Structure 1
């Protein structure tokens, strides 16, 4: 076990126990009429669950740095730990505000005016404990919904994009995009199949996948190859690699094993009927006209940077209509939108929208906005379009809340919006 991980584990364990003690004491006003046996039983159950989950998680993560990395079990333990932690923090915040008020009252109340039976601080009222439980129940229920249902609640996002220089033959051309499958996280094959069926039901002209087929190792996708092989489009199925596909987040026994894993993943793309694009381009022809589809390897700020747009553009004419597949939207932010070649549309993923947030017609927020300029949906700058898919799968936290898994359908139109 690495020294840094040990230090973090000890800090997390200490903080968690202190939080548990504080929270449990917040229940006490509601337990006055309980028998001593009942109170002890609740105490054992409460600390048994919280400490048990924390210990199981920390023990399981000691081996998560080697292939196959974090398994479904690891992610469920982490998700339950996060759910309990956030629930306890919300509960504790309500108590903290009340304790601050109690302290102010204690400091401003004369000794002779104190109510009999109270010590330095006024007694905590049952109403406060009930309010804390009510407040904590909201994240507790929401996170369980996210884990049990939200992560497979696929949504279709449809957009019509207008371009003056789109070849007439491609007016009305449709693209279905899926990104960030993260097959190593799946725990419900039937639910995954519903998502695949929904993508196929869009009957688009072209299907594209924009990276992160797996979490760490190529074998994760093997139980699902026959399912994703069902995705078909008249103009083909094309894919690229994402940062997780290179196997960088686990420690391999040697470089040869890591390279073999990546080559196996290339084979799996072919087995699914996906044309994997590695810094290259292809022309899609229709009625004597063509557009250029370009695919790059991963290039991301703070992540692996092996994609080369210049190499991918070789042979593409200046006036060609260009669609680029690039996993990380920071590639568009830092390179594509400033590149001499005018790339009309870039399709990305990577962010997952943090798998948590709020999206309405008038308001959109996710904590991932503090990391990425463009984290979900459409961005247009000087005629260059970027679309960031929210992801088909999930990673680490085995759930989605507010930012649901996405299937994107884009229709290309010639001209300007009416």
Structure 2
């Protein structure tokens, strides 16, 4: 982690130096030059201040989100400009380093301005720019009664970040419009406290599915990222969160499984508590959750963190056909165009968005319904997933 952060810092410095050269090629006013460096200085002061307050034990999540947003606005345009200006330098080197081409510098600044507009869209409209992503998955051992069975998955609501009632209701209506048989929520209902969800209970109660609504907990749901006066308050917060799941009509699965029955046949729906790599708590117990299931049963697992699939599910003695996860949000920032997919989160999670398959087992990682940290989404839009199960010929 430290090496990756150092790499990001070095790229930022390099991009800053090059972008300033393009800036001064176009703008010659000392006032603008000073303003350029004041923005950078403000960013560094913000980072230092947050580090100080974090060491003092203060809750800095809201301020950290603002700083992340500020960083992206400052950093991303420079990052895009960097390869263009580096290429120009290679050409300048061959010609004895003449002055920078003003037209190329203008082009770089125009590109930077366009990128800022894209970021502005992501921080406003992008928060609720919901995309429906559909997958059809075929299995030879799927019971005939479930051929064509539709599942809607949402994940990572993060109600503590939500503020636009109409935007949220648009996402809920879109989820209901899929007319799926089953609705599954894969964790992170809140940022920190159950109280964040109180105002949204009536809205999310409107989610409907004829075969039921089921959910699991995510890493944020345990209240681990905020300060509590005592352990009893933290425990009561989790108890209230569990009650809210019930009030919204969700059956919360805590290291357990249930049968979804249809026309005399059944599939197993499994839900484990959060289990994550890299310092995240590992409350999930897949062995306990599957202990009463026959080996031949068709199994769908809800597990918030996709690292659980690699580290536990793939090698588990019970064959889990499909795992549904969330957690990564696709970092709420990236590029997804024409089948190409990139986000910085891929350097931390091998499976971070969309469908994956190994050893005849599937994992789908939902990009999230809400947002946290970065107060919006840029390129990686909020998602409603629809998975249709099909019976394949063996």
Cα–Cα, structure 1 residues 167 and 60, in superposed 2: closer, same or farther, change >3 Å?
A: same
Equivalent in the alignment of 1:170: 146
What's the CA shift for 1:74?
A: 4.7
Contact 2:59 2:227 in 1 (8 A): no
* 1:305 counterpart SS class: coil
Cα–Cα, structure 1 residues 100 and 167, in superposed 2: closer, same or farther, change >3 Å?
A: closer
What is the correspondence of 1:17-96 to structure 2 with a 5 Å cutoff? Answer: 23-24=19-20, 26-31=22-27, 39=29, 41-43=31-33, 45-47=35-37, 51-52=41-42, 55=45, 59=49, 70-71=61-62, 74-91=64-81, 94-95=84-85
- Match of residue 389, structure 1, among 338, 360, 366: 366
Contact 2:149 2:388 in 1 (8 A): yes
Equivalent in the alignment of 2:284: 307
Is residue 199 from structure 1 mapped to residue 189 from structure 2 by the alignment?
no
1: CA distance between counterparts of 2:393 and 2:132? 24
Cα–Cα, structure 1 residues 67 and 349, in superposed 2: closer, same or farther, change >3 Å?
A: farther
Equivalent in the alignment of 1:350: 327
Cα distance per residue 1:271-330 (max 9 Å; x no partner): 222111110111222222222211100112222111001111132222222211111122
- Match of residue 237, structure 1, among 195, 213, 229: 213
Contact 1:92 1:132 in 2 (8 A): no
2: CA distance between counterparts of 1:366 and 1:138? 19
Cα–Cα, structure 1 residues 170 and 142, in superposed 2: closer, same or farther, change >3 Å?
A: same
* 1:380 counterpart SS class: strand
Give the alignment's TM-score, normalised by structure 1: 0.81
- What is the aligned length? 387
Cα distance per residue 1:77-118 (max 9 Å; x no partner): 421332112224444665555556656655xxxxxxxxxxxx
2: CA distance between counterparts of 1:379 and 1:74? 32
Cα–Cα, structure 1 residues 149 and 254, in superposed 2: closer, same or farther, change >3 Å?
A: same
* 1:354 counterpart SS class: helix
Contact 2:355 2:364 in 1 (8 A): yes
What is the correspondence of 1:287-302 to structure 2 with a 5 Å cutoff? Answer: 287-302=263-278
Cα–Cα, structure 1 residues 186 and 57, in superposed 2: closer, same or farther, change >3 Å?
A: farther
Contact 1:61 1:74 in 2 (8 A): no
Cα–Cα, structure 1 residues 67 and 240, in superposed 2: closer, same or farther, change >3 Å?
A: farther
1: CA distance between counterparts of 2:243 and 2:127? 28
Equivalent in the alignment of 1:324: 301
2: CA distance between counterparts of 1:56 and 1:370? 25
Structure 1 or 2, whichever has the larger Rg, is 1
Is residue 269 from structure 1 mapped to residue 245 from structure 2 by the alignment?
yes
Equivalent in the alignment of 1:375: 352
- Match of residue 381, structure 2, among 389, 394, 404: 404
1: CA distance between counterparts of 2:163 and 2:41? 25
Equivalent in the alignment of 2:137: 161
* 1:281 counterpart SS class: strand
Contact 1:344 1:384 in 2 (8 A): yes
2: CA distance between counterparts of 1:16 and 1:379? 32
* 2:175 counterpart SS class: helix
Equivalent in the alignment of 1:112: none
Equivalent in the alignment of 1:228: 204
What's the CA shift for 1:16?
A: 8.2
Is residue 334 from structure 1 mapped to residue 311 from structure 2 by the alignment?
yes
2: CA distance between counterparts of 1:258 and 1:25? 52
Q: CA RMSD in A?
A: 3.2
Cα distance per residue 1:158-200 (max 9 Å; x no partner): 2222222222222222111101112222232211110111001
1: CA distance between counterparts of 2:11 and 2:138? 53
**Structure 2 spans left out of the alignment, 5+ residues:** none
Give the alignment's TM-score, normalised by structure 2: 0.85
Cα–Cα, structure 1 residues 223 and 52, in superposed 2: closer, same or farther, change >3 Å?
A: farther
* 1:316 counterpart SS class: coil
2: CA distance between counterparts of 1:416 and 1:401? 41
**Structure 1 spans left out of the alignment, 5+ residues:** 33-38, 107-120
1: CA distance between counterparts of 2:125 and 2:79? 24
2: CA distance between counterparts of 1:29 and 1:415? 63
1: CA distance between counterparts of 2:358 and 2:16? 49
Equivalent in the alignment of 1:117: none
Is residue 126 from structure 1 mapped to residue 117 from structure 2 by the alignment?
no
